[in-house]
């Protein structure tokens, strides 16, 4: 089989009812969701399956919810498909990197969920203190976005933080500075879309959350990955588990280098990308980065069967 990459979504992919179809049909998915309630000490399953959406979109719930759903999708997939022993990569967009670490057996599901829960609470706390937001800049070159950020920085923190795909860069920072950046984009006839988020993710405003996470990560043991992990804070292949904690700390207050991460995987001969988790946002980004890549997403029975059938022929 050709080399393949397992990729996982991050925050913003959530929706009420995600993963429920797998929960009702596959014991391995049911176990994953039920265990989450025990690990977290509250009914995350109810929030995922029933909402309300306003609660599900709060960072402290969103991150565990997306993680749990993604791992459930991964477990359903691997109960129906034997992964190759070599030639497999894992990567996750921001929060999704924790799902990738479970897939690569760096962390157990329980430990990873505890860390995701801590991460979510640290980030939500930082968001409440700093009052930031984010803005998607579409159709612009890196240098154009850099110019906008530099000019808007006179008003406050304004940084390019998510390099998601060609022509799709997200900036993050203080509300006044991001508002200024939107105005500047408009004058340059560049499309800018405000994101419905509660804070300035991946910017320097998340420094306190990163510092708290650094202390939390010291409590856990990180094994060497079964499959190489591409970390999105530096787009490098990681095979040494001891180096992963520092990358998870850096990730919180540093840009997500998703374009570089995907290109790194492709440069190592990978042609197939399987997204495991809600929606297909990551798959869409990958198609923009590399139109020739074969992408699949697995979030329900239909997408699972489509992927399994396609994999018979590659």
Active site residues: 94, 202
Hey, is 236 helix, strand or coil?
A: strand
Structure tokens given for 220:
């856990």
- Nearest Cα residue to 70 out of 121, 120, 36: 36
- 88-92 and 3-8 beta bridge pairing: parallel
Side-chain-side CA neighbours of 208 within 13 Å: the count stands at 12
Q: How many other CB atoms are there within 10 angstroms of residue 42's CB atom?
A: 12
Residues with Cβ within 8 Å of 14's Cβ and at least 6 positions away in sequence, in order, are 56, 57, 62, 65, 66, 69, 278
Phi, psi at 293, each rounded to 5°: -65, 145
Cα–Cα distance, 70 to 173 (Å, whole number)? 28
Side-chain-side CA neighbours of 265 within 13 Å: the count stands at 33
Cα–Cα distance, 111 to 259 (Å, whole number)? 29
Residues with Cβ within 8 Å of 44's Cβ and at least 6 positions away in sequence, in order, are 33, 36, 37, 61, 64, 65, 68
Scan for tokens 């990551």, then name that residue: 282
Scan for tokens 């994999």, then name that residue: 311
Cα–Cα distance, 20 to 232 (Å, whole number)? 29
Alpha carbon separation from 103 to 50, 111, 141, 229, 276 (Å, rounded) = 27, 13, 34, 10, 10
Residues with Cβ within 8 Å of 239's Cβ and at least 6 positions away in sequence, in order, are 224, 225, 228, 229
């Amino acid at each position: 089989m050709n080399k393949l990459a397992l990729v996982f979504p991050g925050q913003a992919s959530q929706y009420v009812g995600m993963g429920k179809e797998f929960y009702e049909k596959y014991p391995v998915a049911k176990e994953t969701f039920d265990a989450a309630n025990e690990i977290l000490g509250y009914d995350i399953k109810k929030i995922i399956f029933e909402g309300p959406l306003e609660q599900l979109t709060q960072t402290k719930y969103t991150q565990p919810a997306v993680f749990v759903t993604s791992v459930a999708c991964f477990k359903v997939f691997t109960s129906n498909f034997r992964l190759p022993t070599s030639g497999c990569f894992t990567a996750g967009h921001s929060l999704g990197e924790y799902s990738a670490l479970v897939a690569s057996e760096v962390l157990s599901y329980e430990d990873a969920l505890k860390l995701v829960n801590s991460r979510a609470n640290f980030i939500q706390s930082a968001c409440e203190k700093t009052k930031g937001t984010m803005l998607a800049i579409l159709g612009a070159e890196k240098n154009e976005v850099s110019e906008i950020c530099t000019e808007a920085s006179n008003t406050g923190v304004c940084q390019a933080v998510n390099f998601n795909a060609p022509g799709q860069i997200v900036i993050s920072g203080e509300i006044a500075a991001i508002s200024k950046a939107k105005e500047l984009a408009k004058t340059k006839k560049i499309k800018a879309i405000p994101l419905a988020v509660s804070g300035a993710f991946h910017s320097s405003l998340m420094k306190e959350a990163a510092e708290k996470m650094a202390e939390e990560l010291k409590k856990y043991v990180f094994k060497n990955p079964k499959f190489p992990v591409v970390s999105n804070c530096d787009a490098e292949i990681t095979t040494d588990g001891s180096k992963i904690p520092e990358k998870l700390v850096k990730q919180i207050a540093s840009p997500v280098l998703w374009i570089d991460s995907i290109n790194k995987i492709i440069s190592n001969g990978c042609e197939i990308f399987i997204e495991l988790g809600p929606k297909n946002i990551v798959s869409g980004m990958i198609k923009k980065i590399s139109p020739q890549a074969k992408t699949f997403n697995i979030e329900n029975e239909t997408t699972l069967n489509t992927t399994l059938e396609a994999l018979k022929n590659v």
